[in-house]
Amino acid sequence: MKYSAKHLHRLLATIGIGFAITGCGTTPNSGAPTQTAIASTTTPAAQSTATAADLEQAQSALVSFFSALQGGRYTEASMLFGGSYADLTNFNPMVPVDDQAQLLGNACTMNGFQCLEIQNVVQAQAISPTRFAFVVEFQNEDGSTFTRPTQSQWPYTVEKIGEQFLVQELPVYVQ
């Protein structure tokens, strides 16, 4: 399922309103496709310097990364990914190491990585002023929640590097 800028804008606006109303607590579910109740906390060390705006931007980058992957926009996704490409270069020895868009494309189309939209952000947390942890659920093409035998939620990290928010982990891999 593809989401327009309008949907992402609505999600960010709803999250911002939720933060303002609840002081970073849960947000009401307005029916937006990726809208969820977000358990948002900060660690004591991160609390004084991590802002709600940074947490929102980190979440936006995570949602955008998976939306780009699912939509086949691999160049866009590569600009939102700051993690290691080592596994992808091992899977794709014929693809140049610096062709990150092709490596991500192969991950999604040939290598068994599940490049799905985020259905729910279950938890969002500032670990430090530049590191944010999330727990997410993914959505299958039919709208159901993606699950593996004993797992339906996955952890992801986003780091703020300069002014960019970059996802650090690859999509879920299924053999």
pLDDT the model gives residue 30: 34
Average pLDDT over residues 49-56: 89
3-state helix, strand, coil in the chain (%, to 5): 35, 25, 40
Cα–Cα distance measured from residue 149 to residue 51, given in angstroms and rounded to the nearest whole number? 36
User: Is the pLDDT confidence value at 5 over 70?
Assistant: no
Structure-block tokens of residue 67: 């939306």
Structure-block tokens of residue 95: 């693809």
pTM over 0.85: no
**Angular region, 123: left φ>0, alpha ψ -120 to 50, beta rest:** beta
Average pLDDT over residues 79-108: 98
Average pLDDT over residues 122-142: 97
Fold classified for 5-24+32-173 = Nuclear Transport Factor 2; Chain: A, (3.10.450)
Kindly report, residue by residue over 88-101, the tens digit of the pLDDT. Answer: 999 999 999 999 99
